[in-house]
Every structure is written in C-alpha cells, then in structure tokens.
DNA sequence: TTGGTGAGTTACAAATATAGAACATAATGT
DNA sequence: ACATTATGTTCTATATTTGTAACTCACCAA
C-alpha cells in the first residue's frame, strides 16, 4: 500500500495549521515538517487554492472555511436528526450527550450536546477519537459486532444489558453510558453508530441508561 | 505561485468523494480525475491514512470522520457563541439565521439555524459560498471595507442603514437581511463576519432588521 | 549609509510520482 | 467450463517534485 509524499505532507500541513489558533508562518510550517521553505510555500499555495487554508495580511496561514463545507457533507441526515435528540438527552441526563460513529477500530464523536447547566465539563468534543475497545461509546459499537473470545467482561455485560456502562476508561472519574444505533432496516445508516452520555461522577446511571435507550429509539424513529 | 499536482489531485479526490453520498470506487475516482487507476489507489490510500476518507467492505471510498475534527477547529469560540444566538434569531424572525465569514472575495456560511416551524425552506446551508458582492451576507461584509467607486447603490444603502437588505440576489424570491460583526476591540474575531436571516417572501423586513441588529449586539456581547 | 534579517521567488541536479502496460486474482455471466 | 469484467499490484520510461543555493525586495537597527 504505497502512499504519496506530497499529498501526505499537504495533509500534515492542514492538520498542523488546524491545531494552531493564531496561524503559522511559512517558516514555522517548514520547520515543523522539516522541509525547505520553498516546499512549504508550494504546499500552502495548493491548500489555499482549495480554500482549506487562508493567509492573513501578515502572511500567517490559518485553517480555511473549506473544511466546514467538507464536514457538512459527512453524514448530514444522521447528524441533523441527532442534534435535537442529543440536546434533549443532555437535559434529561444532566451529562454531555454524544453521537459516535465507528471508523474501523476507532470511534469518532461527530455530534455533542452539553446540558444547559453544565456541572463539571467532561472533555468530550466533536472529533474526539478513541479505540472501540475503550469507553462506553466504543463498547456500544463493539457490542454490535460478532462476539470474540477476547471480549472483556464489560463488553459481555453490555451485550446482556443492551447498553454499555463504563467508569473512567477514557478520563479519570468519568462515567459513560451508551447504546448502539442498530443498522437494521432502512435507517440510512451506512456505518455503525451509537449515542450516549458522559459525566463526571454525578450521574444516576440507572436513570441515564433509561434516558439513553429512550433517546436512541427516538433517534431511530426520526431516521426511518 | 506554483502549486503541486499531487496535493491538488488528492484534495480534488476529497472534494469529489465528499459530494457523493454512496461513495466512489477507485475506478470511478480515476475516471473523474482522468488519471490511471494506480494513481487513484495511491491518492486514496494516502487520504485514508489521514482518516479523511474511509473504504467500506465493498471497497468504495467515502468521506471520513477526520473532516469533522478539522472543521471543529475552525473558529470554535465564535461558532459556539453564535449557535444559541442564531437559534433565537431564527425564532424571532421566522427565517433561516446564519453566521458568515469572509474569505477573500467570498463569503462562507459557517453556522445556520432554521426556525422550529419552517415555512418554505431556503437552501442556505453551512458551507454555502458566494461572492461578497452579492447577497445580504456579502453586502454586510463588503460594507465593512473601504468604500470604492464601483460600489453599488445597495452597498451604499447598507452603509447608511447599518445593515444590508437584498431581494433575490442569491435565490429567486429570497429576501435577506444581514449586519456586520465589527471587529473592534478584543472580540477575538480574526476575520470579517456577519450574521443575518434569509426567508422566502414572507419576511417583515423592518422587524427582521431590528431582530438582526439586536442579535448581532447580543453575539458581540457574548464574545467580549 | 551600511549591514542584517526575513519573506518571497527562481534555477537546477537529484529524488519522487506518473502514465501506461503487463500481470494475477476474484467475481460475474453464459 | 469459459469468456468477461473489475480489482489490486508490479514494472518501466517520462514528468513532477524536492532540496539546495542564489537572488530580489522590504524592513529595521546601528
């Protein structure tokens, strides 16, 4: 599986630039990549042409509006349907509600809703990524897959209960509850997904679990 | 200003793939780009490595979760602050509320809110892009810039009134009202931006204008 | 003025990438 | 079974791209 140096570097630039809030100069980009300035110019110009980065008046490179257009095309129906459901779930449970999608062996948060009265903020944001083997969201994805001998007892418990419950697997003191969005029928789900909530300590797990399941069903209904 | 073929093609693949809801095969990508299959493989592999595309079990290439993470890093504070304001503006005016950012001579919608009871849906979505010379959002951006001799009477009217009002410049029968988010002081605004509403016909322009201005001030207050 | 620094561009040998073909392997249809 | 088609990989010449150095231009300080 061969890959392309030029493209890979360009995407690296995009990644680096996106992580900087103030923007980077060409010289800084060149340094981070370990390439000559002339190359950084060509990379940046090409990205700019595609509207993925912008140069400000001082010449600093920042992330561009093009990325918003791209991301809007990622699972738009699912995300639109999920947004109100997640808001309601966040209110009902008092935790941070999320929608996750599996991506091979990783799990990505693609929509998040905070409750109106945030307690202690959990750092679970859109774009967060973790292995399917960890965290409530990961388990909720894994439980939809064929059982294996290597399955943990957490995972077996999730299959039995119909939802995943974890403590502190992704963040110290965080409690997570998640339920899979089964892709049966014509829900238009092209990938494995789940919804759930996370909170720091103060979460009534029983109530949260029932809220998650109820909102999961509401979301599935909205998609059918 | 030289650009790189490999990177440009890779970004083109990303664009093409993102526009397809079902995903594309390698052969299709190769055909659209007019390149050999072997090249499409390397492009797709590289994009996949960076999580920007995914291959499903049938080998079709779809847009990946990585784009969500990228876009989340685009103006996060501004967008977070704007979201509730836009929802409120949509309700108050009955139209589709938006937040736009200037990108050179173009204007990109980066956050949109529909009213709860959508009338006739205006096709103004996140990622929509149009020249600053057209549409209410464009005028609201342009009115912040230095006056020129080529300015239209619409633009001069906008400067006089403090907000932009247009009829059918972007879509047949659409009415738009927008006001600039001045970047004075420490609002953290790194770019020219504006907020506003669009609707099809049924918009009380006077009431909409006052709602837009009021919500603009609310957003500026939230940012300071 | 002079000298220094950084940004942006250009020129060219050396390292990558491309286009095209060739080849194997599945999957599909007859 | 056989041909047909699509996928994935490998192999070469050409064509891009890279790394390097050199050059211009603007800006700042001595």
Give pLDDT tens digits along chain A (224 positions).
788 999 999 999 999 999 998 889 999 999 999 889 999 999 999 999 999 999 887 889 999 999 999 999 999 989 989 999 999 999 999 999 999 998 878 899 999 998 887 677 777 889 889 999 999 999 999 998 888 888 999 999 999 999 999 998 888 889 999 999 976 544 445 678 999 999 987 788 899 999 999 999 999 999 88
Closest CA to A175 of A151, A206, A148: A206
Q: Name the closest nucleotide to B30, judged by C1' and CA.
A: C19
Name the minimum distance, in Å, from the CA of B207 to any CA of chain A: 27
CB contact under 8 A, B42 and A101: no
State the pLDDT at residue B73: 92
| A124 and A138 Cβ atoms separated by less than 8 Å | no
Q: Name the closest nucleotide to B42, judged by C1' and CA.
A: C17
Q: Is the pLDDT of residue B100 over 90?
A: yes
Q: Residue by residue, what is the 3-state secondary structure of chain B? A: CCCCHHHHHHHHHHHHHHHCCCCECHHHHHHHHCCCHHHHHHHHHHHHHCCCEEECCCCCEEECCHHHHHHHCCCHHHHHHHHHHHHHHHHHHCCEEEEEEEECCEEEEEEEECCCCCCCCCCCCCCCEEECCCHHHHHHHHCCCCCCCCCCHHHHHHHHHCCEEEECCCCCCEEEEEEEECCCCCCCCCCCEEEEEEEECCCCHHHHHHHHHHHHHHHHHHHC
CB contact under 8 A, B47 and A108: no
| B136 and B168 Cβ atoms separated by less than 8 Å | no
State the pLDDT at residue B147: 85
Q: Name the closest nucleotide to A61, judged by C1' and CA.
A: C7
pLDDT digits (tens, 9 = 90+) for B45-70: 999 999 999 988 788 899 999 999 99
d(Cα B101, Cα B74) in Å, to the nearest integer? 11
Angle between helix axes A37-49 and A5-19 (nearest 10 degrees) is: 80
- Fold category of B5-67 in CATH: Arc Repressor Mutant, subunit A (1.10.10)
Any strand D atom closer than 7 Å to A39 CB: yes
Any strand D atom closer than 7 Å to B37 CB: yes
CB contact under 8 A, A50 and B8: yes
Half-sphere exposure for A97 (CA within 13 Å, toward CB): 27
- Fold category of A74-223 in CATH: Beta-Lactamase (3.30.450)
Closest CA to B98 of B181, B189, B178: B178
Strand D nucleotides, any atom under 7 Å to a protein CB: 6-11, 16-21
Task: List the domain boundaries for chain A.
Answer: 5-67, 74-223
Residue with tokens 């590289």: B46
State the pLDDT at residue B185: 43
């Amino acid at each position: 599986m061969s890959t392309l140096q030029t493209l890979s570097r360009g995407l690296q630039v995009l990644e680096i630039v996106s992580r900087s809030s103030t923007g980077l100069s060409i010289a800084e980009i060149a340094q981070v990549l370990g390439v000559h300035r002339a190359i950084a110019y060509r990379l940046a110009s090409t990205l700019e042409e595609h509207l993925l980065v912008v140069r400000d008046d001082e010449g600093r490179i920042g992330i561009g509006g093009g990325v918003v257009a791209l991301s809007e095309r990622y699972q738009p129906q699912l995300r639109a349907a999920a947004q109100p459901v997640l808001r309601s779930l966040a209110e009902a449970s008092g935790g941070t509600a999320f929608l996750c999608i599996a991506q091979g062996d990783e799990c990505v948060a693609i929509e998040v809703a905070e409750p109106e009265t945030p307690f202690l903020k959990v750092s679970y944001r859109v774009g967060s990524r973790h292995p399917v083997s960890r965290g409530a969201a990961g388990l909720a994805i894994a439980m939809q897959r064929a059982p294996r001998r290597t399955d943990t007892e957490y995972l077996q418990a999730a299959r039995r209960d119909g939802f995943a419950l974890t403590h502190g697997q992704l963040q110290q003191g965080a409690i997570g509850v998640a339920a899979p969005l089964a892709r049966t029928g014509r829900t238009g789900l092209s990938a494995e997904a789940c919804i759930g909530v996370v909170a720091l300590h103060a979460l009534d797990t029983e109530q949260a679990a029932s809220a998650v399941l109820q909102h999961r069903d509401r979301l599935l209904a909205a998609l059918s």
